[in-house]
Structure 1
Amino acid sequence: MLNLGLAIAFYGGEFMEIMVDVKNINKDFYTLEGELNVLKDINFSVEKGEILAILGPSGCGKSTLLNILSGLLKPDFGEVYIKGKIGYMFQRDHLLEWRSIMDNITIGLEIQKKLDNNHKKRIEGLLKDYGLWEFRNRYPKELSGGMRQRVALIRTLAVDPDILLLDEAFSSLDYQTRLLVSDDIYKIIKNEKKTTILVTHDISEAISMADFVGVLSRRPSTIKSIHDINLTVEGDKTPLSARKAPEFKDYFDVLWKELDIYEK
């Protein structure tokens, strides 16, 4: 059940606005081999402006969880409370090669018949702020992989979502590009003050980008733990500077042990 509503929690004398609240989510699939238990009693919440990373071994149901949050799948049991609109950024950029960068960014609004002057001005501002304005009339094949991912994020932001879902958004990039793009996208997310949930199998990426990291077990997946990430960095935090924090290795060691990579 997907509910669009407002959730407020009271913590330490302050009211906190909860943007995503997941309660007792269960999901099974049925195959020729029989029933496949994927998610079991998943519970978590994300407050406004926070970034939550979900880590888990391959095949544990990370993408299934995002699909439930987005409404693409329905849980068999449990409830999802969402406040506001969702933007979903997939593993691949899915840019249309025959459309210019500007036309790729506006396609969602065109389909919804919502492309007005206000949206156009917002898109122009995003392109200028994040270094893509001069490429607006180019085509995807003329851009690097990192730039294509930035375009994909701006396309997602063009509809002004309140919540971003990122599904292994950097996995198609080489390591060096991945580091640079994660820095770019982190800055955009924080500048735009978007509540974000990202799923990844990369421990370092999760620690460096997220405010909290949740660890999924093997199937049927449960949330084993949620870690509050507090890193000591000089100046403003970015994913690159976060990797230099003295606490980084300790978080990595703890999360590595929890990931159940070698369990059978």
Structure 2
Amino acid sequence: MHCQPPCKEQVYNWLNNDHECLLCNEATEQPYPLCVACEAELPWLEDGCQVCALPLPMRGLTCAQCSRRAPAFYRVEAPWHYGFPLDALISRFKYHSQWPLGRLLAQLLGRWLTHRFSEGLPRPALLLPVPVSRRRLRQRGYNQAGMLAQWLAGQIQISSNEHLLKRLIDTPAQQGLKASERKRNLQQVFAVEHSELLEGRHLALVDDVLTTGATAQALASLLLSAGARRVDVYCLARTAKPGST
């Protein structure tokens, strides 16, 4: 069985060398391998639901689903919507072990959150990465959410704990499932360990992409039942509603 890779060692050389942009190969003149022009062209999420960050046509709106029934999580913070070239960067990190890309995305997410905290977003007490099953961890060798949370914790100075949430059942992959199928897929899948550590605390779940929100809803409900005061979701990207542009 593979262990979670030592994130700091894997990206040490990358962090301490002159950078070329990972998208256009030009010199970046920035402390990370992404030039100003390519960073500006990332699919920034400017107009999203105030609760779940679903891309919407105007700023300051709440989507129909969150208006009908508020989710268990309080709000989602995502810098981008899931589009090109960000989708390719996440895929290369998640499925092809290209960890420097994950480190870059975590650094940009940390900058985004630091800005949001300066605007008044309440800081959580603890980061909790979305867990993966033991079988998937053996196959892939790492949990991308755990790596993101570890890098993010160092940047925004908030502790991360990978051991408080467990995935009990190895369900079929969520990708490609409808919203209703995702909810059924996640019934009684997760568990909390050491719930006394969560009592009355503001928590933030960390993941790469939020699609329907079914996983975030299941975990937030579980954490609130275990005594958490508030649960937010921090992710790299939010997908659009199926069929929308």
What is the TM-score when the length of structure 1 is the normalising length?
A: 0.30
Q: Which has the larger radius of gyration?
A: 1
Where is the strand percentage greater, Structure 1 or Structure 2? 1
Which structure would you say has the larger RCO, counting Cα contacts within 8 Å and 6 or more residues apart? 1
